[in-house]
Structures are given as structure tokens and as C-alpha cells.
């Protein structure tokens, strides 16, 4: 079954690049959500539109579960930070999980509640029902593929080889 979720984890370039490598992820789109205006531009988001940079993700539930999607999310962010990730600071870099139904909402809250035991500071990541999602400008889509040396706060190497799509696995040289 095809499922969808929106994740905000700081700069959307790295979050998208990380997720598109995972087996079971069918589609990713970077954009903006959870703000005050319709169809914001990147400039507006950087100047207090209230939106978060986010990634809309479609995934095949039979290949990757919601818990696994969330586990990956918490591998690549610091959920105890408020309005920042890495060197990116501002409300647009807050972390959030945006779901489309009550079951996923309850599951995400339960996941965070369990995860809190691993942190000495409170988890700041919010779980909300999805708000309108506005795709970012074309130059932001697949940004790190187009600009391999581009800035990214996400460690692309925390996924296990077995969790990656075949084309992203390291090939043995034998």
C-alpha cells in the first residue's frame, strides 16, 4: 500500500537526498508546509512566512514501515533542537512530522514517547496533521544530485547497506 508523510528536518536538501536512497521510498518532493501563506517562495520562507522546509515522501508500506521511516528520521536530526538543525537556524528549520491520518498520528506520538528515554533533553519535534504542502522551486528539487558538493547537515552514511536501494549500495570490487 502506498503511504505518504511530510518530514521537516532542517534544510530540505539533505533530508530529501537521504530518503530517496532508501528502499521502499517511491517519491520525494522538497517544499514548504505549516505556514501562514499560500504558495510561498523560498525568499518568503526565509523571511518569516512561518513555513518549515519539508520533504513530501511517498513510500511502499510493504517495503518500509512508518516506524522505519521515523527511525531513519531520528537518525539524521537532533530532535532536541528547536528551530534549527546543524548550522541552519530559524523557524523554517524546525523539525516536524506531518501525517495524513489518525493511525499515523498516534503511531508517531507513541514512537516519540518511546524515543524520549534516549535523550536527556525534551524532544522538540512536533507531530501534526498535514497542512497544505507547496513544492519548492525547481532548483531545490534533487539539489544535492545537481550540486554534489552542496552544503548538507545530514550524514548520508547512517543507513545500512541493506536499507538502501540497489543503485545506492556500495559495490564490492571483487
What is the domain-level CATH number for residue 138?
A: 3.30.1060.10
Question: Is 11 noted as a catalytic residue in this protein?
Answer: yes
Q: Is residue 173 part of a domain?
A: no
Alpha helix positions (H), the chain? 12-20, 42-46, 66-76, 102-115, 143-146
Q: Is residue 174 part of a domain?
A: no
Task: Name the one residue in this structure whose C-alpha cell is 533530508.
Answer: 15
- Nearest alpha-carbon partner for 77 in 59, 93, 57, 62: 93
Q: What is the distance between the terminal CA atoms of the chain, rounded to a whole angstrom?
A: 37
Three cell numbers, residue 69: 521511516
How many domains are contained in the chain? Answer: 1
Count other C-beta atoms under 10 Å from residue 168's C-beta.
Answer: 14
* Strand positions, DSSP E, the chain: 2-9, 25-33, 52-60, 84-85, 88-89, 95-99, 126-129, 133-135
Rounded Cα gap, residues 52 and 100, in angstroms: 17
- Nearest alpha-carbon partner for 95 in 56, 52, 58, 41: 52
Alpha-carbon 119 to chain mean position: 20
DSSP 8-state symbol, 100: S
Q: Tell me the pLDDT of the chain (174 aa) as tens digits.
A: 999 999 999 999 999 999 999 999 999 999 999 998 999 999 999 988 999 999 999 999 999 999 999 999 999 999 999 999 989 999 999 999 999 999 999 999 999 999 999 999 999 999 999 999 999 999 999 999 999 888 888 999 999 999 999 999 987 644
pTM of the model: 0.95
Q: Is residue 44 part of a domain?
A: yes
Provide the residue range defining the domain that includes 91.
2-168
Identified catalytic residue from 5, 6, 11, 54: 11
Q: Is residue 117 part of a domain?
A: yes
Amino acid at each position: 500500500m502506498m503511504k505518504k508523510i511530510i518530514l521537516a528536518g532542517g534544510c530540505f536538501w539533505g533530508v530529501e537526498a537521504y530518503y530517496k536512497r532508501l528502499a521502499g521510498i517511491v517519491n520525494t518532493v522538497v517544499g514548504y508546509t505549516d505556514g501562514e501563506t499560500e504558495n510561498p517562495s523560498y525568499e518568503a520562507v526565509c523571511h518569516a512566512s512561518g513555513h518549515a522546509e519539508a520533504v513530501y515522501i511517498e513510500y511502499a508500506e510493504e517495503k518500509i514501515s512508518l516506524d522505519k521511516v521515523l527511525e531513519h528520521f531520528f537518525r539524521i536530526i537532533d530532535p532536541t533542537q528547536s528551530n534549527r538543525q546543524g548550522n541552519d537556524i530559524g523557524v523554517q528549520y524546525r523539525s516536524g512530522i506531518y501525517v495524513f491520518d489518525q493511525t499515523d498520528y498516534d503511531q508517531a506520538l507513541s514512537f516519540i514517547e518511546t524515543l524520549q528515554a534516549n535523550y536527556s533533553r525534551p524532544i522538540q519535534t512536533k507531530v501534526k496533521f498535514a497542512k497544505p504542502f507547496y513544492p519548492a522551486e525547481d532548483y531545490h528539487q534533487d539539489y544535492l544530485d545537481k550540486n554534489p558538493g552542496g552544503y548538507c547537515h545530514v550524514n548520508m552514511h547512517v543507513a545500512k547497506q541493506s536499507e538502501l536501494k540497489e543503485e545506492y549500495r556500495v559495490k564490492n570490487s571483487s
